[in-house]
Structure 1
Amino acid sequence: MSDLLVEDLAVARGGVPVLEGVSFRVAPGRGLVLRGPNGIGKTTLLRAIAGLQPPLSGRVEGAGERAGYASHADGIKPALTVAETLGFWADLYRAELPEAVYDWFDLADLRDRPAGTLSAGQGRRLGLARLAVIGREVLLLDEPTVSLDAASVRRFAAFIRDRHLAQGGIAVLATHIDLGLELPEIDLTPHRAAPEARGGSDEAFL
């Protein structure tokens, strides 16, 4: 497995530049936490790395088909049960469904529950369980612990540390909380695009 390389990346949201000069390298088995205030451009940066939108400049290597992106949306169909949802993702990615995924994300007692009846936290755990199914080496995660209680945050952190990273995966996470993963961090504040590049726009909409 090769490194994830981000070199001198500049990205825009809605045509307005938000970040510039972002560079980092993440080796297999390692992770990185993106920090910065709301609106700084963490989501936009992750989307660009994932290939969901083109950067303004710079380059990304080691993502592409290797990368899986997870945002705030859980991506679940209300009519499917928890087990059917996990089976759907496994079939979609032509992957095996690890039986242990139910324990990793505390879903064992919810197998037969329709996803539409889950609480916000339960739905988030089901959405995150997709990460254990899709088989992507590089995980790009945007505020993954939204709606999770403290115990579920610890379970998620254990999955990233003991399952994904321990097996040589790479994780880049945008989060405001301490996940207890002891990962290096990068503060994106110094990379905020210059005012002239932003065109004087209102940062509240970025």
Structure 2
Amino acid sequence: MENSDTDRTLRADDLTVARGGVAVLEGVSFVLDPGRALVLRGPNGSGKTTLLRTIAGLQPATAGAVEGAGERIAYAAHADGLKSMLTVTENLTFWAQVFGFADIAGAMAAFDLLSLQDRLAGSLSAGQKRRLGLARLMVTGRPVWVLDEPTVSLDAASVALFADAVRGHLARGGSALMATHIDLGLEADVLDVTPFKAKPRAAVEDEAFL
């Protein structure tokens, strides 16, 4: 039996997330349905990365719950996660095999990597490395993409490639949660994290003895 759309929805319920043991956001709730994108907004340091890492399961929430995440998520952060002594093709093949897939042709074409297929990843420019790192998303087979500033180092043409890849992912029933300051031209909901800034922790009476 196929999962219903409800089963494939990502939910955050009254989340509190912390950085270095200090709460940065509290009471965050949202619903991200299949075929939809949600863009996080807020100034630098407001907790967007911490929220994304918590959703991706890289750190625990201080309070609240996340549903529909786990192994359904493909996470892309600032690091490209490439093996410098492998070629572009070898890097993508490695990640495809990790996730049980064999076909990398779609990802290579989507991110304009065919002309670079035999180049060592370590010899690529920052923008080329970023394109290769993002192409990994397409070989995971995972329906929920969680992306932290995915367009860093990309020129305008590469940003357009990325936006097309996200658009295609949504059209296939996937979803995307991302923090980005760039307008990607996608139909997306927006969540400003600023109102969820955690209140300062109240001092405790015996703090001098801690």
Q: Above 0.5 in TM-score?
A: yes
Residues 92, 104 of structure 2: 8 Å contact kept = no
Residues 37, 187 of structure 2: 8 Å contact kept = no
SS at match of 2:11: strand
| TM-aligned CA distance change 1:113 to 1:198, over 3 Å | farther
Write out the 4+ residue segments of structure 1 that deviate beyond 4 Å after TM superposition. Answer: none
Aligned to 1:137: 143
Distance 2:194 2:173 in 1: 29
SS at match of 1:20: strand
Q: Alpha-carbon deviation of 1:79?
A: 0.5
| TM-aligned CA distance change 1:197 to 1:179, over 3 Å | farther
SS at match of 2:201: helix
Structure 2: runs of 5 or more not aligned = 205-210
| TM-aligned CA distance change 1:100 to 1:115, over 3 Å | same
| TM-aligned CA distance change 1:39 to 1:90, over 3 Å | same
Aligned to 1:149: 155
Structure 1: runs of 5 or more not aligned = 200-206
Aligned to 1:27: 33
Task: Give the counterpart of 1:119 among 113, 125, 147.
Answer: 125
Paired residues in the alignment total 198
Task: Give the counterpart of 1:194 among 158, 180, 199.
Answer: 199
Distance 1:64 1:198 in 2: 35
Aligned to 1:96: 102
Residues 157, 181 of structure 1: 8 Å contact kept = yes
Task: Give the counterpart of 1:177 among 172, 177, 182.
Answer: 182
Letter in 1 for 2:158: S
Q: TM-score, normalised by structure 2?
A: 0.91
Residues 17, 61 of structure 2: 8 Å contact kept = yes
Larger radius of gyration: 2
| TM-aligned CA distance change 1:197 to 1:165, over 3 Å | farther
Superposition CA RMSD, Å: 1.4
Q: Does residue 1:67 correspond to 2:68, yes or no?
A: no
Distance 2:140 2:195 in 1: 34
